[in-house]
Amino acid sequence: MASTSRGDALPKVQCPNHPDAMLVEDYRAGDMICPECGLVVGDRVIDVGSEWRTFSNDKAAKDPSRVGDAQNPLLNGGDLTTMISKGTGAASFDEFGNSKYQNRRTMSSSDRAMLNAFKEITNMADRINLPRNIIDRTNNLFKQVYEQKSLKGRSNDAIASACLYIACRQEGVPRTFKEICAVSRISKKEIGRCFKLILKALETSVDLITTGDFMSRFCSNLGLPKQVQIAATYIARKAVELDLVPGRSPISVAAAAIYMASQASAEKKTQKEIGDIAGVADVTIRQSYRLIYPRAADLFPPDFKFDTPVDKLPQL
């Protein structure tokens, strides 16, 4: 006979002769067996495995598994609904040709809208290589906004794009509006409007972006060596500390710092190359560069190895 411990909230099946032994489960017979004495401690154990064996090289179009998708906590009811497929045999229809078995509850319009938004969010995140935790945060933000109905009249795609931008900022991997705009079908102006409305509706905030948030990614995409990246980061930080670029966007300051560091090194990049990666116009880079150029000698790190001296840098 199997014994159970009374101290726990749930009974614990164990061998009465060897209570410390790890029981072995025989999935074929549905038995729990003591490995020390061979006593069948429990029988009729439920097999939680799949009903069919599935092979990786199966070419069948249909999956024989009877379970559906994983539970989605973001949908009402956790998406634990049962859908009855359309019958094909004569027993599925009455004498008038109507189906005998019908779905009493199909997916609601709100769940359908949220599912479409979640798919769009996943597609956008995949196109700019964002991790799963940002997708989950974006989905939660969209669900909160959608249920509050505080952005009526705005398209779900615009709300989803703004939620993705906010999630990136909150997770410490910010993306520019232009980067979000490039993977969505929404204009930069509309994403910016939704961004402000969502922050107000959810009473949340995001950290201010700095030049360091974009520097490593921009330099990596430009193929610049580590020395240039360190110098560009140092230049941008010193320019902000010395208040040389008041009112300028951190993205434009980062682009100007990269341009200055690359021109002083052997890996020179043009304004257009940097502008294409950073998403800023050439004239914007020139304007920020002109502000920091007069103090160029004070901006470079002390150990930087110049390929082009400071006095030979382009003046624009």
How many Cβ atoms sit within 10 Å of the Cβ of residue 194?
Answer: 25
Cα gap 206→198, rounded to integer Å: 11
Instruction: Supply φ then ψ for residue 171, to 5 degrees.
Output: -90, 0
Place of tokens 């489960």: 25
| Topology (CATH) of 109-202 | Cyclin A; domain 1 (1.10.472)
Q: State the pLDDT confidence band at 83, using cuts at 50, 70 and 90.
A: low
> What is the pLDDT averaged over residues 107-116?
81
Domain 14-45 has CATH 2.40.50.100: no
Q: One-letter amino acid identity for 298?
A: D
Q: Is the pLDDT of residue 27 over 60?
A: yes
Do domains 109-202 and 211-312 share one topology? The answer is yes
**Ranges of each domain in the chain:** 14-45, 109-202, 211-312
Q: State the pLDDT confidence band at 25, using cuts at 50, 70 and 90.
A: confident
How many Cβ atoms sit within 10 Å of the Cβ of residue 166?
Answer: 23
Q: Quick one: pLDDT at residue 6?
A: 45
> What is the pLDDT averaged over residues 251-272?
94
Q: State the pLDDT confidence band at 45, using cuts at 50, 70 and 90.
A: low
Residues 6+ apart with CB under 8 A from 208: none
| Topology (CATH) of 211-312 | Cyclin A; domain 1 (1.10.472)
Q: Alpha carbon 209 to chain centroid distance?
A: 19
Q: One-letter amino acid identity for 105?
A: R
**Tokens at 293, concatenated:** 């150029």
**Tokens at 92, concatenated:** 């599925």
Cα gap 52→55, rounded to integer Å: 10
pLDDT tens digits, one per residue of 235-250: 999 999 999 999 899 9
The per-residue pLDDT of the chain, averaged, comes to 82
Sequence-distant contacts of 157-160: CB under 8 A, at least 24 apart? 157/117, 157/120, 157/184, 157/185, 157/186, 158/186, 158/190, 158/191, 158/193, 158/194, 159/117, 159/194, 159/198, 160/117, 160/120, 160/121, 160/124, 160/184
